Structure 1
Amino acid sequence: MCTTGGSGRRQLGGAERILTELVPAHAGTGVKVVAATSDDEVGRSLREAGVPWIGLGATGRVDLGYARAIRRLVREVKPDVVCAHLLSAAMHARAALSLDRTPLVVTLHNSLWQYRDTAGSWQRRAAVQSNITLDLAMRRLRPHATVAVSEFEATELRERGRVRDVHVIPNPLPASWPTPAVEASASDRRPVVGYLGRLEREKGADLLAETAGLLPEMDVRVAGDGSLPIAARPNLDLVGRVTAADFLRRIDCLLVPSRVESFGLSALEALSLGVPVVHTGAGGLAEVTRHATDGLAFRADPTPAALADAVRRALGGGLSTAERQRVAGWYAREYAFDRCVTRWQSLYRSLT
């Protein structure tokens, strides 16, 4: 179950994208799956994949009707395991199943402490702190297994939250992701720098326009949508929603200026295709990019000047085409989709 984007806010980020492939993959292996999600892009994708689907989602931060609906659904379906993704579904599932012993797995796909530490206002910090307090209280009220998508997130939970029973299952590349085929960059055109993600402050989208202004010799293409307006620049194009693989194969460098990142799916996707990545090292980004440090992955402070300098370093040479191919192949194998499906199903079996 998942309420995408939290209480009433809809989005299609990395966590939602993974669910639209992971859930049908489980069903395809013979596991009986019932999906209970919001009636949005995630719900539509699951229905189109033939997954039994029920429209369930929270309409607010606390939605007693949503909790009651979860309780009724579990009583009717009698599942072996309930798996809740993202904070809102996790909170309501814990409340709904407080007296039910069905094994529960929770995956937040983020670190609440990271959101608190990087909040832009005291009001926002207070709101996140209330979520942290409630989350920890609900964990004690309704014990369950927790899946972290990176060692960074697992460490946050274990050390800052004193959470036990944490399992690390890294996010995978998409199921239909292309095989790495790295080609030499064309030298007869302007370099293209890309951004792929939600247009939100926590993703560093507010830094894009000024960074583009410091790279007048390059074109900057921004893919994604969100609530943050992006100021116009002569060399900056807003291209909206795109197919990730097609977009990444048409750029020379990916910019990941995140302040908050428990994993870094776009960085993984770029590296698996041999595309250089400039990133802030926030949260799980340092972990995901570690194997490519200073070859295909370049770390910079989250400021326009530092990001622009790192882009020039990334495009200034570095690895040969053959070396880029080798790094891309390592990422393709290490984060293969089938490995992730196997890890999840092994966890389910251990709980039942």
Structure 2
Amino acid sequence: MLSVHTSPLHQPGTGDAGGLNVYLVELSRALAGRGAEVDLFTRCRGEGHPPWVPLAPGVRVRHLPAGPRRPLPKEELPARLAEFSLGLLRDPGLVGPRPYDLVHSHYWLAGQAGRVAAAHWRVPLVHTMHTLARVKNAALADGDTPEPAHRIRAEHRVVAAADRLFANTADEAAALHALYGARPTRTDVVRPGVDLRTFCPREGRRAARRRLGLPEGAFIPLFAGRVQPLKAPDVLLRALAELVREAPELRDRLHVPLIGGVSGTGTRHPERLRALAHDLGIAGLVRWEPAVPQPRLAEWYRAADVLVMPSRSESFGLVALEAQACGTPVLAAAVGGLPTAVRHAETGFLVPGHEPVDYARRLRWLAHRPEAVARMGHEAVRHAAGMSWEAAADGALRAYRSALAEARWQRRGQGRRHAPAPVGVPVLEEKERRGFTLAGHFVSPKEWCSPDSAVQ
């Protein structure tokens, strides 16, 4: 597995770490539980980790040097992809011309390195997008920055090169087909799961509130995730202001934790959200909390009456599934994978659009109906129980086996896949001077890592 921009060792909810990190950790563990051996390569950021770190039995995280050994903005990482790819191919731990049976890359940056490695080793490439630039650009918040054109071009190249594509939901698969020309026969819907050992009801809401020091009789809507415009925490704040205007009697009961670190374009104005809460007159209702480890996050889910996810785009929304597994209903935007993660009017509510008044109306309904919150919570636990990471691993293994069987069939000369020509062998010893051959073209390292290169 490849993940260039973020490591499974990073804390979800900070920087670029989020649901993708949870996905990498949990799917790898579940695959290892089914007998697979997984090496997960990521960029070395100078955090003091050794070259490889055991994550679980059968799973190792391996760190490759690519650029300065410090965190880099995602915007600078395309220029490091050639170095990452070359480092992967010459890694001293690799044995033989085909050290792996299969490459599974995650996110568009890793997909570029995955194309090189899979073609060089002549093994299948499986890719999971996690987010799609075209989908994100269609749902931008006011003032947010669109994904660049070179990312969209790179995503098209990965779609063309991959032997299999994993989509979180049928809707994401449809978007891959309609927006990127992905072939349905090479696209597998593999739903993410939830760690049901960590995320479960346990002692319940009252005990969780005692442990967290929260008022027992409060009405607690919770936000958990990266604090950035895409996740729309501003919509929640505006909904709270609308709620106390419509139902002033709730002001004394409201207690609203926002858990997570400033991320993405939110880092440009890190104080903007706090300033908005102050301007709306609700600053005293909001409790700002940093991102926390998974067991602690489960406590926050159990303590809340409802998780609020007004996201403008979500490929799936793992936090919605985690909260439901803890017995907490979800109030979410009806976007992306959230209609799959949440059953409307059964385990929570789905809101079309991002009008704060619509969220305020649902919050008011829930605040006055604790029996409905409890009923939805029971249904949420049952719903989440059907989405385990073990089930996700079974789906992934079926797709892997299909890709491997097709690769064997092609090697016997009985089929020919319509894909870009294989990547030539990089000249490792003199890579800075000599470059390598890609699909019949000589490419210098500088040209290969350029965002506008026509041969990428």
| Length-normalised TM-score, structure 1 | 0.86
**CA displacement 1:291-341 (0-9 Å, x = unmatched):** 3x1233223331333222221123332865774355124323320222112
Q: Could you say what secondary structure the match of 1:62 adopts?
A: helix
| Structure 1 partner of 2:86 | 68
| Structure 1 partner of 2:61 | 53
Q: Could you say what secondary structure the match of 1:234 adopts?
A: helix
* Superposed displacement of residue 36, structure 1: 0.8
| C-alpha contact 1:182 1:324 (8 A) present in aligned 2 | no
* Superposed displacement of residue 106, structure 1: 0.4
* Alignment equivalent of 1:81, drawn from 102, 113, 117: 102
* Superposed displacement of residue 46, structure 1: 5.8
- Classify 1:136/1:48 alpha carbon distance in 2 versus 1 (closer, same or farther; 3 Å): closer
* Superposed displacement of residue 163, structure 1: 0.1
Percent of residue pairs bearing the same amino acid type? 23
Which has the higher Rg, Structure 1 or Structure 2? Answer: 2
Give runs of ≥4 in structure 1 deviating > 6 Å: 184-188
Are 1:252 and 2:305 matched, yes or no?
yes
- Classify 1:296/1:319 alpha carbon distance in 2 versus 1 (closer, same or farther; 3 Å): farther
| Structure 1 partner of 2:287 | 237
Bigger drift between 46-55 and 60-69 goes to 46-55
Q: Could you say what secondary structure the match of 1:156 adopts?
A: helix
| Structure 2 partner of 1:15 | 20
**CA displacement 1:163-198 (0-9 Å, x = unmatched):** 021101111012523444696889962201100111
Greater RCO (Cα-Cα under 8 Å, separation 6 or more): 2
| Structure 2 partner of 1:294 | 345
| Structure 2 partner of 1:190 | 218
- Classify 1:329/1:208 alpha carbon distance in 2 versus 1 (closer, same or farther; 3 Å): closer
User: What is the one-letter code of the residue matched to 1:2?
Assistant: S
Q: Distance in 1 between matches of 2:243 and 2:399?
A: 47
What is the alpha-carbon root mean square deviation over aligned residues? 3.1
| Structure 1 partner of 2:239 | 211
- Alignment map for 1:150-169 (pairs within 5 Å): 150-164=169-183, 165-169=186-190
| C-alpha contact 2:199 2:323 (8 A) present in aligned 1 | no
Q: Distance in 1 between matches of 2:221 and 2:105?
A: 36
* Superposed displacement of residue 255, structure 1: 0.7
* Alignment equivalent of 1:25, drawn from 27, 30, 43: 30
* Superposed displacement of residue 252, structure 1: 0.7
| Length-normalised TM-score, structure 2 | 0.68
Q: Distance in 2 between matches of 1:121 and 1:69?
A: 40
Q: Distance in 2 between matches of 1:27 and 1:58?
A: 27
Bigger drift between 151-160 and 55-64 goes to 55-64
* Superposed displacement of residue 137, structure 1: 2.9
| Structure 2 partner of 1:309 | 361
Are 1:221 and 2:234 matched, yes or no?
no
| Structure 2 partner of 1:273 | 326
Q: Distance in 2 between matches of 1:326 and 1:189?
A: 20
